[in-house]
Amino acid sequence: MAPPIVIALSLIPVDNQPIHFHSEAELASFRQQIQTNIKSRQFYGEIDPPHGMVDSNILFPTSRSCSGCHGHDPNMVAFMTSSGEDVNIHDDWRSTMMANSARDPFWRAKVSHEMLVNPAHSLGLQDKCTSCHAPAGHYQAKLKGNQPHYLLSHLYADSLGLDGVTCQACHAQSPKLIGTLHSGALNFDTNYIRVAYGPYKFVFAPPMHNFVGITPEFGEHIGDAGLCAGCHTLITNTVDLNGNYTGSTFVEQATYHEWLNSRYDETHDNISCQKCHMAQIPDPVVISANYQFLFAKFPFGLHELAGANMTMLKLMKANREALGIDAEAEHFDSTIAATLRMLQKQTLNLTLKTEDATGDSMHFSLKLENKAGHKFPSGYPSRRAWVEFEVKTTNGQTLFHSGKLNPDYTIVGENANFEPHHNVISTEDQVQIYEMVPVDIWGSFTNVLERCFMAIKDNRLTPQGFTTTDPAYDTTKIVGLGNDQDFNRFENQAEGSGADILHFIIPNQQFTGQLNVKARVWYQSLPPKWMDPIFAFSSPEIDAFKTMFESADQSPTLIAEASLDSVFVSTVPVKQPTTEELVQIAPTWSIDGRVQVTTPEGVRLHSIEVWDSGGKRLQQIFNLGSPTLLQLPANPGVYFVVVNTERGRVIRKVVKM
């Protein structure tokens, strides 16, 4: 009986498994079935070369060689969850930024831009950029072709390179040197590169070995965050405005190092990149089509690879044919939905509070707590987030609006060179933008990566557990905070909160009444100040991207929002009522919650209101006599008693013990 044999073989380490598990007749049957499956999906046509076996000179087979077994299963057995959802690896992957890293039109335009600015560095620039965006083509050319440089012209004619961050770019990485590499350096063991490391200890190897020529093995490092380090840490060599190297370096991005400087690293919570960006599901999942007798594996990591770049995903979806992308619109829809979930569910917590709503100004605080395992935003330095803060009357009149977006997707009030970090915002032309701002050797903002000399500002929200004493701080520095004592600080001033508290002190404008307050945090991956200098140049790559970008949806993504409704504000200070003798409220510190309100003879009470410190009205009582006994809510806290009389309004603060 077949199942007992399979059980025995699945428990044997891969090195001891016989290569000839199937008879020739079985192999022929399975090959035919795989070809039929692929034809039915109409993704690639027949597997090539014959029978799917990859030429031994090719170190990195393209994803098409993997899709026959790790794509959609027409029999609806493999990659099906308990709820009937198809979570096959290939379909989830092929609409991601990783899969399309080499077809990304912004990346191509940016490489072209750097080449035009510093043409003498063209070969080195292209070679460096393709090492991460086209790793299979790049390293195939280096390790097998002995090419000194892998260029865009090579990429455009190379199916390996065009496959982006393809399957084996991750699954063939060696455990040696993991987490120590950066700037496109990836370690592949050329003596044993036809291996695919996976997360499961018991491996059924013959199908992949026989059909593709790759041997699957368990590799604990496949779930290690260090697997991402080689490309998600980039250090560039700085040049002056004439293209001469200065001897300085610049940390263009250090997402992996940000993770090291967090509570999520291996020595603390040990939540790796993969655990968030390839979320695991508990359902047992059969991980190969065509083998209905295989045992299901769990947990299973979804290959959604969700990040944050909604703008480029939507742009590539709209230009699939022009970019040669094989993913269908529905695949992009799934990736876009996963990306939006990542941004709105796993990125920020917002807490909005009323501090003081009386007197000549209104005081609010907004706490932003980073939930990501790295800075937010992270990655390519154009990415930024900002706070929009709006105060309106209940009839819709705007009293204050900071962080408003212009029609051209710039932000109202932002400084041309860069907007400084704010601890307190009191005018509408001040806006809190969380970003990294690189400058050249003369201190001017630059979007030319080779010219980046230092960051004049980096107030991106740090991950929880981040400290300035961590060994990784030299590549993850906070810059330009001024005297902000709230940033990444707990109440006791210890580092590592991963939060920032932003204070708003807004002129009251002689308004008394109820207001609605709303705070929103927006994310923008390609702001105009980063795009305009690129579009000042012309090349086939820049011109093509400009056409796509100008017709694309450039709207920023809403990350989180918080609001306060019906906040009562008054020009009368709480601690200094205008007519002290007009109303007496006692006691102002109440244990049982009972408070007595008394007015002088001849002063008629119209109503009494009780508000909490968050700006919510809890009680409103009419037609009262004097004295009147109030019963405060049961919860201890600070309350405001508003007494409306025929001679005006008086507000008192009362504390319920």
Reported as a single tens digit per residue, the pLDDT across 495-552 is 999 999 999 999 988 888 899 999 999 999 999 999 999 999 999 999 999 999 999 9
pLDDT-derived band at 458 (thresholds 50, 70, 90) equals: very high
Residues 282-312: pLDDT tens digits?
Answer: 999 999 998 878 899 999 999 999 999 999 9
The residues near 298 (Cβ < 8 Å, ≥ 6 apart) are 281, 282, 283, 284, 285
Token pair for residue 444? Answer: 């001017």
At 616 the pLDDT is 83
> Which bin fits 159, alpha (ψ -120 to 50), beta or left (φ > 0)?
alpha
The residues near 30 (Cβ < 8 Å, ≥ 6 apart) are 22, 207, 211, 290
Nearest residue to 151 via CA among 213, 92, 108: 108
Please name the helix (run of DSSP H) or strand (run of DSSP E) that holds residue 291, with its range, or none. none
Domains and CATH numbers, the chain: 347-569 (no CATH), 584-656 (2.60.40.1930)
Question: What is the chain's mean pLDDT, rounded?
Answer: 89
Residues 307-337: pLDDT tens digits?
Answer: 999 999 999 999 999 999 999 999 999 999 9
Assess whether pLDDT exceeds 90 at residue 579.
no
**Direct distance between the N- and C-terminal alpha carbons of the chain, in angstroms, rounded to an integer:** 75
Q: What percent of the chain has pLDDT over 90?
A: 71
Q: What percent of the chain has pLDDT over 70?
A: 90
**Alpha carbon distance 551, 148 (integer Å):** 38
At 536 the pLDDT is 98
At 44 the pLDDT is 35
Task: Quote the strand ranges of 570-604, DSSP E.
Answer: 584-586, 589-590, 594-598
pLDDT-derived band at 358 (thresholds 50, 70, 90) equals: confident
At 31 the pLDDT is 58
> How many other C-beta atoms are found inside a 10 Å radius of the C-beta of residue 434?
23
Would you give the DSSP letter of residue 614? T
**Alpha carbon distance 283, 270 (integer Å):** 22
Assess whether pLDDT exceeds 50 at residue 46.
no
Q: DSSP of 507-518, one letter per residue?
A: E-TT--EEEEEE
Mean pLDDT of 395-402: 95
Nearest residue to 374 via CA among 467, 462, 278: 462
**Weakest-pLDDT range from 1-10, 25-34, 328-337:** 1-10
pLDDT-derived band at 617 (thresholds 50, 70, 90) equals: confident
Token pair for residue 403? Answer: 């962080």
Mean pLDDT of 227-240: 98
Buried b (16+ CB within 10 A) or exposed e, 134-160: bbbbbbbbbeeeeeebbbbebbeebeb
Structural contact between residues 615 and 391, judged by C-beta atoms closer than 8 angstroms: no
Mean pLDDT of 342-353: 97
**Alpha carbon distance 245, 598 (integer Å):** 79
Q: DSSP of 387-416, one letter per residue?
A: EEEEEEETTS-EEEEESPBPTTS-BTT--S
> How many other C-beta atoms are found inside a 10 Å radius of the C-beta of residue 30?
20
At 7 the pLDDT is 29
Structural contact between residues 591 and 539, judged by C-beta atoms closer than 8 angstroms: no
Rg (CA), the chain: 30
Assess whether pLDDT exceeds 80 at residue 34.
no
At 1 the pLDDT is 37
**Alpha carbon distance 647, 604 (integer Å):** 8
pLDDT-derived band at 162 (thresholds 50, 70, 90) equals: very high
pLDDT-derived band at 15 (thresholds 50, 70, 90) equals: very low
Query: Which residues are registered as beta bridge partners of 351?
Result: 367
Assess whether pLDDT exceeds 70 at residue 35.
no
Buried b (16+ CB within 10 A) or exposed e, 371-393: bbbbbbbbbbbbbbbbbbbbbee
At 53 the pLDDT is 67
Query: Which residues are registered as beta bridge partners of 113?
Result: none
Residues 562-573: pLDDT tens digits?
Answer: 999 989 888 765
Nearest residue to 98 via CA among 163, 43, 172: 163
Long-range CB contacts (within 8 A, 24+) of 629-632: 629/594, 629/595, 629/596, 629/597, 630/594, 630/595, 630/596, 630/597, 631/593, 631/594, 631/595, 632/590, 632/593, 632/594, 632/595, 632/656
Structural contact between residues 645 and 605, judged by C-beta atoms closer than 8 angstroms: yes
Assess whether pLDDT exceeds 50 at residue 14.
no
Mean pLDDT of 190-197: 80
At 309 the pLDDT is 97
At 572 the pLDDT is 66
CA distances from 236 to 173, 183, 233, 485 (A): 23, 8, 10, 32
Assess whether pLDDT exceeds 90 at residue 359.
no
pLDDT-derived band at 10 (thresholds 50, 70, 90) equals: very low
Mean pLDDT of 67-79: 94
Token pair for residue 387? Answer: 């706070």
Assess whether pLDDT exceeds 90 at residue 253.
yes
**Alpha carbon distance 421, 483 (integer Å):** 10
pLDDT-derived band at 2 (thresholds 50, 70, 90) equals: very low
pLDDT-derived band at 51 (thresholds 50, 70, 90) equals: very low
Residue type, 605: L
Assess whether pLDDT exceeds 70 at residue 117.
yes
At 605 the pLDDT is 80
**Alpha carbon distance 645, 168 (integer Å):** 77
Assess whether pLDDT exceeds 60 at residue 11.
no
Token pair for residue 299? Answer: 């947990």
At 444 the pLDDT is 95
Mean pLDDT of 75-85: 95
At 487 the pLDDT is 98
> How many other C-beta atoms are found inside a 10 Å radius of the C-beta of residue 219?
21
Which residue is it, tokens 């010219």? Answer: 451
Residues 630-648: pLDDT tens digits?
Answer: 899 999 888 888 888 877 7
User: How would you class 540 by CB atoms within 10 Å of its CB: exposed for 0-12, middle for 13-18, buried for 19 or more?
Assistant: exposed
At 581 the pLDDT is 62
> How many other C-beta atoms are found inside a 10 Å radius of the C-beta of residue 594?
12
